[in-house]
Amino acid sequence: MNTLLLIILIIIVLEYILELILDGLNLKARKQPIPEMLSDVYPPDRYKLQQDYEVETTQFSYLQSTLSLVAIVLVLYFGLFGLLHEWIASFSFNKILTTLAFFAIIGFIGWLTSIPFSIWGTFVIEEKYGFNKTTPRLFVLDSIKSLLISFTVGGGLLAIITWIFYATQQWFWVIALGVMLVFSLLANALYSRVIVPLFNKQKPLEEGELLNAIKEFGDTVGFPVNKVFVIDGSKRSTKANAYFTGFGRNRRVVLYDTLIEKMRNDEIVAVLAHEIGHYRKHHIWINFGLGALQSAIILYLFGWLAQSAELSYALGFESASEPVFHLSLLAFGLLFSPIETILGLFTNGLSRKMEFQADAYAADNGLGNSLIQGLKKLSSENLSNLTPHPVYVFVNYSHPTLLQRIERIVAKHFC
Ligand SMILES: [Zn+2]
C-alpha cells in the first residue's frame, strides 16, 4: 500500500478518535451541577429533557461518524475513487466535464446516503423533543432544492476552478483565489434575495411597538436600521434565531418568527444590538480577511502539491502519469484536514472573542440585562447545553458558553 494512502487513512482514524474523546468528555460533563447564575434557565422537567436530548443527539452523531468512517476507509482501501475516475475517463469527455461528472457522482451518492440520517434526525429526534415542524412534503422539496443548488452553483464554480487549474499551472492559486473572493462577495450580496426565497418567505416587519423599538435603538447609536425582515422559520422548526446579512446598502436584519413569538421586545432589541456590535467592531471584514488568508494558504499548498501525480495515485488511479485535478483535490482535502482542525482552533478562539465584544457593545448601550434574559430564554427554548466540557468548548465552540457570556456582562457592567 502506498505511503500517502496510509497517511490519509491514519489521519481519518485519528480524527475519528479525537471526536469520540471530545464527545465522551462532553457527555460526562453534562452531569455537573448547574452553575448558580444559570439556575433559572430551565424548569426541572425541561432540564431533564435537555439532558436526554444531549445524549440522544450525541449517540446519533456517534452512529453517523462511525458509519462514514467505515465507508470512507473501504472506499480508499479499495481505490474506488481511482476506479470511478478510470470509468469516467473511458468516455473521453474533456477534462472539465470529467471533473464535473466525477464530483456529480460522488455528490449525488453523498446526498442519497445522507437522507436516511436527515429523516431520522428530523422526524424522530427533533420531533420527539418538540422542535420539528417540517412536513414530509417540505422535507422532500428542501432536499431536492439543496441538491439542485449545489449542482448549479457548486458545479459552476468548480468548472471555473478546474479550467484555471489546467490553463495556468504556475499562477493557479492567485487566479483561483481572486475568483473565489469575487464569488463569495457575490454570494453574500445575493444570498437574501436569491437563495433564501427558495426556502422561506421574508416579509418586512409590520409597523408596531417592536419595529419602533428597533428603529429607536438604531437611531440612538447612529446605526439606521431600515430593513427589518421576518422569516418564517416556524415552518421547519420551533428553534429561534436572528441574523444580519449583506454589506452596505444590501444589509438587512432578519428575525425568525419564532424569535418574535418567544422573546420580549427589549430582549429582541438586545439581540439586535449584539449584531450591530459585530458590524461596529468590523468583525464582518475581519472574518472575510481571515477567510481570504486561509483560502490563499490552502490554494497555494494545493497548487504546489498537485503538480505531481502522487495524490491521484494515492486514491487508486494507478496508471496516473500526470496530475488529475479532481483526484488531487480530494486527496489534498483529506491530507489537509488536520491542518484545518488546527486553523479551526484559531478561528473559533477569535470568534469567541468577537462574541464577547458584541455582547459588550449591547451592554455598553444599556441592554446588558435584556441580553442576559434573552440569551437565557434562547438557551432554554433550543435545549442548549449549560455545562459543556472546557476542552470541547475550546475545540468546537464558535460562541462562548452561556455562563461565560453572562459572567462577562455582569462583571463589566453591573459592579
Ligand atoms: Zn454574535
pLDDT, one tens digit per residue, over 339-359 is: 889 999 999 999 999 999 999
Residue-level pLDDT at 284: 87
Asked if the model's pLDDT at residue 260 lies above 90, the reply is yes
pLDDT in tens, 183-242: 999 988 888 889 999 999 999 999 999 999 999 999 999 988 878 999 999 999 999 888
How many angstroms does the Cα of residue 257 sit away from the middle of ligand 1?
19
Q: Mean pLDDT over residues 280-286, rounded?
A: 92
Phi, psi at residue 180, to the nearest 5°?
-65, -35
Spot the catalytic one: 23, 275, 355, 381: 275
How many angstroms does the Cα of residue 133 sit away from the middle of ligand 1?
26
Lowest mean pLDDT among 8-22, 27-41, 245-259: 245-259
* Residue 42 banded pLDDT, cuts 50, 70, 90: very high
Residue-level pLDDT at 302: 92
142 is catalytic: no
How many angstroms does the Cα of residue 365 sit away from the middle of ligand 1?
16
348 and 15 Cβ atoms separated by less than 8 Å:
no
How many angstroms does the Cα of residue 20 sit away from the middle of ligand 1?
28
How many angstroms does the Cα of residue 250 sit away from the middle of ligand 1?
19
How many angstroms does the Cα of residue 348 sit away from the middle of ligand 1?
12
How many angstroms does the Cα of residue 356 sit away from the middle of ligand 1?
8
Asked if the model's pLDDT at residue 265 lies above 90, the reply is yes
pLDDT in tens, 67-116: 999 999 999 999 999 999 999 999 988 999 999 999 999 999 999 999 99
Long-range contacts formed by 96-100: CB under 8 A, 24+ apart:
96/159, 96/162, 96/163, 96/166, 98/326, 99/158, 99/159, 99/162, 99/325, 99/326, 100/155, 100/158, 100/159, 100/162
How many angstroms does the Cα of residue 216 sit away from the middle of ligand 1?
21
Spot the catalytic one: 23, 54, 359, 381: 359
How many angstroms does the Cα of residue 150 sit away from the middle of ligand 1?
27
% of the chain exceeding 90 in pLDDT: 82
Average pLDDT, the chain: 93
Residue-level pLDDT at 415: 57
Distance CA 204, CA 254 (A): 9
* Residue 168 banded pLDDT, cuts 50, 70, 90: confident
275 is catalytic: yes
% of the chain exceeding 70 in pLDDT: 100
How many angstroms does the Cα of residue 354 sit away from the middle of ligand 1?
7
pTM of the predicted model as reported, rounded to 2 decimal places? 0.90
How many angstroms does the Cα of residue 140 sit away from the middle of ligand 1?
32
How many angstroms does the Cα of residue 89 sit away from the middle of ligand 1?
47
Residue 140 burial (C-beta neighbours within 10 Å; 0-12, 13-18, 19+): exposed
Residue-level pLDDT at 382: 93
How many angstroms does the Cα of residue 400 sit away from the middle of ligand 1?
10
How many angstroms does the Cα of residue 71 sit away from the middle of ligand 1?
36
